Amino acid sequence: MGSKQASFYESVQRNFDKAAALTNLPKGLLAQIRACNSVYQMRFPVKIGNKYEVIEAYRVQHSHHRSPTKGGIRFSSHVNQEEVMALASLMTYKCAIVDVPFGGAKGGVKVSPRGYSPEELERITRRYTVELIRKNFIGPSVDVPAPDYGTGPREMAWILDTYMTFNPREIDAAGCVTGKPVNQNGIRGRTEATGRGVFYAVREFFSYKEDMKKLGIEPGLEGKTMVIQGLGNVGSYTGTISQKEGGVRVIGVSEIEGTIVSDTNIDIEKLLRYRKQKGTILGFPGTKTLKDRKDWVKIECDILVPAALESQLHKDNAKFVKARVIAEAANGPVTADAEAILLKKGCIIIPDMYCNAGGVTVSYFEWLKNLSHMRFGRMEKRFNQNSRTMLLDKIETMTGKTITKRDRSIIAKGADEVDLVRSGLEETMVTAYANIREISKRKRSVKDMRTAAFLSALEKVANDYMTLGVFP
């Protein structure tokens, strides 16, 4: 299959070229959108135990058509420059598709988090942040990192603290990074955001009756079968929310220790508790373990959710896929070679740049919260609650009927921050899907959803460049 990471970057560029060929945009403008604007490669020493280690790290700003740039920081032993460039490119297109006003960026630190203690990881994170500050590659109006594979709220809190130490008088300093703990200028609903976004994306796809009729698929999510590869943050939330709010049956889960299958339904919440206790998903009651962990691709299901790393479906295993729909919860899980095979088989791919955009959408809400210095819902929650209570009192007086206490609490409830975040995320995913679908209908030359999503992004980014006067 060749170099895994190189094929990821190559896949992104090939998919771009495929969509670009269908536009009438000037070649120079397309070349500008395609290229990574700034690539910062760094090496820095960190004391680990009694020795110093030289850490390899990157920050790539793909596009400055909007400011700030935005994108996660990945801690992985597989990090390299091409991977970070590919991820930064995807962030530009992702932000454009869901109308989040950022340019794309991404960061990577070549370390395996499992190989270091929390104190050592803190040293690495803080030193990486100092390198970014030195080169003006971080700031609420410059470049705003977020969590990615191998990082989470803890690392984001370290980044914020380091940035504030160097910028003590910056009033909007909290907006220099998103994905922070809620009690440290974070936002409720951020942890679940990417998984919830995947759920909304899949739900929207199955909600259009006329589209489903053409494909010979029963509309709606209720009773659909799902297989999840990767039970990290994104995979676990995708599974639990799809089960609770969509009535989906999860019949297969694949993780590093193996793949389990069920004839009925694997309760993801119970599976997560089981894994925490036992350290493995294997042996979970009501499931069988497949002999080969990689056979998750062969499980027959309605929806396959690759939620781990890139290039998991490639030209060597794509022929075995029996799923009708692939929802790309991870970034770049399907290579360009695999996509060609899957599309020929009649597979529908809900592309990563739309499907997993929930994370950056809620990161945008967190950034807005940090700049406004105001928790969402604080101004209107009680007003709405009191207005609805008065309305219910009036209805009771006019009808002579009593509304139960339970019904009152549901109807009169004012929106908390998490309610508003979920509502905003749902609106974003619904609107973006409608836009992608409209492009698919309007352009007959578009045969797949990824190309439609790319066209949506290209139209918006090109328009920004033209508005800036960079291109006439």
Positions marked catalytic:
106
Closest by alpha carbon to 299, among 308, 309, 288, 310?
288
- CA atoms of 409 and 67, how far apart (whole Å): 42
Q: 468 exposed, middle or buried (CB, 10 Å; 0-12, 13-18, 19+)?
A: exposed
Contact between residue 209 and residue 217 where contact means Cβ atoms under 8 Å apart: no
Q: How many CB atoms lie within 10 A of CB 251?
A: 21
Residue 127 Cα distances to 44, 110, 220, 465, angstroms: 8, 13, 48, 35
- CA atoms of 24 and 398, how far apart (whole Å): 62
Instruction: Kindly state the DSSP code that residue 320 receives in the 8-state scheme.
Output: G
- CA atoms of 95 and 87, how far apart (whole Å): 12
Instruction: Kindly state the DSSP code that residue 334 receives in the 8-state scheme.
Output: B
For the chain, the first-to-last Cα distance in angstroms comes to 42
Task: Return all residues near 190 (Cβ < 8 A) that are at least 6 apart.
Answer: 178, 179, 182, 359, 362, 363, 366, 421
Closest by alpha carbon to 456, among 8, 9, 23, 14?
23
- CA atoms of 332 and 112, how far apart (whole Å): 20
- CA atoms of 148 and 282, how far apart (whole Å): 26
At residue 190, what is the residue type? R
Closest by alpha carbon to 313, among 353, 289, 343?
343
